[in-house]
Amino acid sequence: MPLPATRASVSPWLTVALLCVGQMMIVLDQNIVNVALPSVQGGLGLSSENLVWVVNAYVIPFGGLLLLAGRLGDLFGRKAVFLTGIGLFSASSVLCGSATGETSLIASRFLQGIGGAVASACILGMVATVFSDRRKQAQAIAAYSFASAGGGAVGPLLGGVLTDLLNWHWIFFINAPIGVALVLVGMRVLPGGRGERAGG
C-alpha cells in the first residue's frame, strides 16, 4: 500500500500553481462584478449612488491592508496567513452571493477585500522562495505575474458568462469551491515555516 505524499515529495511547481490560482482568483474579483452590476442593481434594488460601492468596498480594504497583511505574514508565517486570508475570502464570497440587500452585499464585499489582501500579501513572497535556483525562481515569478494579469483580463468575461448562463449570485459563489480546495491542498503542500523552501 503506497504511503501518502509528504512535504518533501511535493513538486515545487504544485506549490507555485496553487499560489497562482489563489492570486488569479483574488485579482479576478476586483472587476468580475463590473459586467454584472446592472443585474445586481435590479436584483437587490441598489441605488445608483451605492452601486459603485459594490466595487469600492472590495478595492479599498484590499489596497489599504496589503502592507499590514504582509507584516502579519512575517510575524505568524506566510502559510498560516495565506490560508486564513483564503478562508475569509471564500466565506465572504458565499455571503456576497447570498446577500439580500445593498448593506449586506457591501459589507460582505468589504470582508472579501480584507481576505483578498491578507492572502495576496503573502503570495509573492511565497512564490519567490519556492526555489533556491535563480532561473526557476524567475520562472515562478513570471507565472505569478501571468496569473495576476490573467485575473484582471478574465474577470469581466467570466462575470458576463456566469451572469448570462446562471445569475449574478454565481460570480461570488464560484469562489467557494475553489477557495476550499486551495485551503485543503495548501495545508498539505505549502511550506510551513517562514524560511522553508519547497524545492531546489
SS in 3 state form for the chain? Answer: CCCCCCHHHCCHHHHHHHHHHHHHHHHHHHHCHHHHHHHHHHHHCCCHHHHCHHHHHHHHHHHHHHHHHHHHHHHHCHHHHHHHHHHHHHHHHHHHHCCCCHHHHHHHHHHHHHHHHHHHHHHHHHHHCCCCCHHHHHHHHHHHHHHHHHHHHHHHHHHHHHHHHCCCCHHHHCHHHHHHHHHHHHHHHCCCCCCCCCCC
User: For residue 195, is pLDDT > 60?
Assistant: no
pLDDT, position 178: 96
Rounded to an integer, the average pLDDT of 55-82 is 92
Confidence of residue 2 (pLDDT cuts 50, 70, 90): very low
pLDDT tens figures, 160-183: 899 899 999 999 999 999 999 999
Confidence of residue 193 (pLDDT cuts 50, 70, 90): low
Question: Any idea where the domains of the chain sit in the sequence?
Answer: 11-41+48-189
pLDDT, position 9: 62
Summary mean pLDDT of the chain? 88
Confidence of residue 76 (pLDDT cuts 50, 70, 90): very high
pTM for the model = 0.88
Rounded to an integer, the average pLDDT of 35-44 is 90
pLDDT tens figures, 80-108: 999 999 999 999 999 999 999 999 999 99
CATH number, domain 11-41+48-189? 1.20.1250.20
